Amino acid sequence: MLSRHVVLLSGKVQRGGFRSFVKKQALLHGITGYAENLPTGEVLLVLEGEEGEIEKLLEKVEREAPAFIEVEEIQKRRENYRGSFSDFERKGEDVLEGLESSGTRKLLLRLVSYAKSSDEKLERGIEILGTIKSQQDEMLEKQDRMLEKQDEMLEKQDRMLEKQEEHIEVTRRIAEKQDEMLEKQDRMLEKQEEHIEVTRRIAEKQEEHIEVTKKGFESVSEELKGYKELHEEIRELREEFARLKEALREAGIPLT
C-alpha cells in the first residue's frame, strides 16, 4: 500500500553524510521525497512509497546510520499518499561548525564540494543501480509470470494427456464392441447361409412336388378327357334310344 511519512530526527544528525546515506537507502527501496537539514539542527524526512519499504528504510536509519550520527529521537507522522515527488533529494545547508581557521575552512569547503560531487556521482550510481534493480524486479516478475504460464501449460498438457488416455480407452472399448459385432455378424451370415441352403432344398422339394403334381394333373386330365368322350357316347346313345322309342310308339309297338 502506498503511503507518506513525515519524520523528524533529533540528535547529532546534520554531519557525517547522513542525508546522502538516507538518499542512498531511499533509492534502493524505491522511495521518493527528500531529506532536509533544518536550522534547528534536526533533519526532516518526507518519504513516499510502499508502506513496507518505508518501514525498512526507517529501521536502517535507526540501526545502520554512519558512525558520526547519533539519532536521539524520532518523531513520525503517517499521511495519505500524494505522489508529490519523482525522485529523492537532499535539502538544506551543509554544517561546518567549530572551524576557526579560514584556511582550514576553505580546505574543508573544497572537501565538501568534492564530497558533494562524489555524492552526486554516488547518487547517480545509486539511481542507475535502482533502475537496474527495478528492471531486474520487472524481469523477475516477468519470469514469475512466465513460470506461472508454463505451470498452466504443463497442467493443461497433463489434462490433455488424461483426455487422450480416456479417448484411447474409449476407442479401445469401441474396437472391442466392433469386434463383438463383427463376430455376431459372422455368425448371422453363417446362419443365413444355412437358412438359404435349407430354403434352396425346400425350393427343390417344392419344384419336385410341382412336377409330380403337374404330371398328376396331366394324368387326371387325360382320364377326364376319356370320361368326357364316354359321356358324349352315353349322351348319343340316350338320344338314339329316345328316337328309337319314339319310332316304336308311332308304329304302335308297345314298350314293355
Which grid cell sits at 213? 403334381
Question: pLDDT class for 217, splitting at 50, 70, 90?
Answer: confident
Q: What is the model's pLDDT at position 140?
A: 85
The better pLDDT of the pair 76, 199 is held by 76
Alpha-carbon distance of 121 to 225, in angstroms, equals: 146
For the ranges 32-46, 114-128, 184-198, the lowest mean pLDDT is seen at 114-128
Domain spans in the chain, listed from the N-terminal domain onward = 1-95
CA angle 48, 18, 39 (to 5 degrees): 85
Which is the catalytic residue, given 4, 19, 172, 201? 19
Contact 8, 74 (CB under 8 A): yes
* Average pLDDT for the chain: 84
pTM of the entire structure?
0.42
Q: What is the model's pLDDT at position 86?
A: 92
Residue 126, pLDDT > 60, answer no
Residue 235, pLDDT > 70, answer yes
Residue 60, pLDDT > 50, answer yes
Those residues with Cβ within 8 angstroms of residue 12's Cβ, 6 or more apart along the chain or in another chain = 68, 69, 70, 72
**249 an active-site residue?**
no
Q: What is the model's pLDDT at position 224?
A: 79
Which is the catalytic residue, given 4, 15, 37, 249? 37
Q: What is the model's pLDDT at position 96?
A: 55
> What average pLDDT does range 41-70 have in this prediction?
93
Query: Based on the number of CB atoms within 10 Å of its own CB, is 26 exposed (0-12), middle (13-18) or buried (19 or more)?
Result: buried
Question: pLDDT class for 94, splitting at 50, 70, 90?
Answer: confident
CA angle 49, 60, 115 (to 5 degrees): 90
In sequence order, the β-bridge partners of residue 47 are 5, 33
In sequence order, the β-bridge partners of residue 57 are none
Give me the CATH topology for the region 1-95.
Alpha-Beta Plaits (3.30.70)
Alpha-carbon distance of 223 to 218, in angstroms, equals: 9
* Residue 57 neighbours by CB distance under 10 Å: 21
**37 an active-site residue?**
yes
